[in-house]
Every structure is written in structure tokens, then in C-alpha cells.
Structure 1
Amino acid sequence: MTDMSDDERKIMQSHVAYWSDLLKRATAIVYGPVFDPEGGYGVGVVSVDSEEQLKQIIAADPANGLNEYEFYPMKAVFKKDDTQ
């Protein structure tokens, strides 16, 4: 995160714009960098209907190839709409 080349920085700016759009469309619930002392990485929580949809989101991410992705299913106990 701290030693990106100019090309990597441009890719990451496109990555942030891509995820910002997913947030506006309520596909992404939250996303952002994690400043782990062992090395930074990002985390995103998304709401999708299938694993295939998530794979499509990852495939279309401008940083795919620069970033590595792992994903795990999560059962939401409470969603924003449930607590209001």
C-alpha cells in the first residue's frame, strides 16, 4: 500500500471508484483498507444473490490481477433495515 508505482496507484484509484459505485447501488455494504502492521489489505462486505454474482464482481474489478481475493459466506443476523 505504501510503495505503489504510478501505474498501480491508477489501478487502485479505479478500484476505489468501482467499489464506490457498488456501494451506491447497495451491492457493497462496506469496504475499505485495513491497516494491519503485518501488511495492508482491503475488506469488503457485499450483498449478492449467488457465488457466481460475487465472482462476476471480482472479475470486473479493475484491480483484479493486482489484488488477490478470498471470499467467505456470512449469515447476517441483523441488516440495517431490520434495526430501524
Structure 2
Amino acid sequence: MKYYLCKFVPPRADFLTTMSTDELTWMKQHGDFLNDLLAKNVIVAHGPVIDDTGGYGVSLYQIADNEDIASFTSLDPIVINGVGHYEHYVMLHLSSRP
């Protein structure tokens, strides 16, 4: 297995408070997309992080050795619609509750 911390970087610092109607729709689809991966045990956890820069999203992935992390994150509706991007960070291991 391979493990990743993925950081969703929004397109602007005030994104969470200034989303357009389309962006709100894509963010709902983004949540549904991540929840589906959570149900399939691809993602261990995900959620928004609020900080002084406005915030970002974090997701923890657990994927097979033959899978590519970008093949998952590139299918996220927010990426498909050009609303921000992901940074991928390799984790040496991931411990979680069963």
C-alpha cells in the first residue's frame, strides 16, 4: 500500500467566503466525491482546515502500490472544473482506527 496526505489548494485566499454559485455546486460534488472514496476505503479521512490564509482541504489516501495518486485527485469535480489544485505528500505509513 501507498499513503498520501493530499492538500487541496483553493484558487484564492477568500475562496470559502466568496464562492460563486457554480463553485458552490462543484464543492458539493467535491464532498460527495471524497465521501464516495471514503466509503470505498481509498480515503481514510478528509476535511477542511481553517487558517490565517483562509484555509484548504486535507485528505488522507491509502492506495494500492500500482495506483497513481493523481489518477484519483484529477477526477475530483473541483479539479475538473479548474477550481484549485492538489498537492500530494507521500507518507511513510498511516495508522488509523479500524
Q: Same fold (TM over 0.5)?
A: yes
What is the match of residue 83 of structure 2?
A: 66
TM-score by structure 2 length?
0.74
Aligned runs of 1:1-84 on 2, under 5 Å?
1-50=16-65, 52-64=67-79, 65-76=82-93, 78-81=95-98
Query: Larger relative contact order (C-alpha < 8 A, sep ≥ 6)?
Result: 2
Larger radius of gyration: 1
Q: Look up the SS of the partner of 1:37 in the other structure.
A: coil
Task: State the 1:53 CA deviation.
Answer: 2.6
* CA RMSD, Structure 1 to Structure 2 (Å): 1.7
**DSSP-derived class of the 1:17 partner:** helix
Would you tell me which structure has more helix in proportion to its own residues?
Answer: 1
Moved more, 69-78 or 2-11: 69-78
2:10 matched residue in structure 1: none
Unaligned runs of 5+ in 1: none
Q: How far off is 1:52 after superposition?
A: 4.7
Q: Distance in 2 between matches of 1:15 and 1:77?
A: 23
Q: CA deviation at 1:80?
A: 2.9
Amino acid at match of 1:26: N
1:57-77 Cα deviation digits (max 9, x unpaired): 111110102121100110226
Q: How many correspondences in the alignment? A: 81
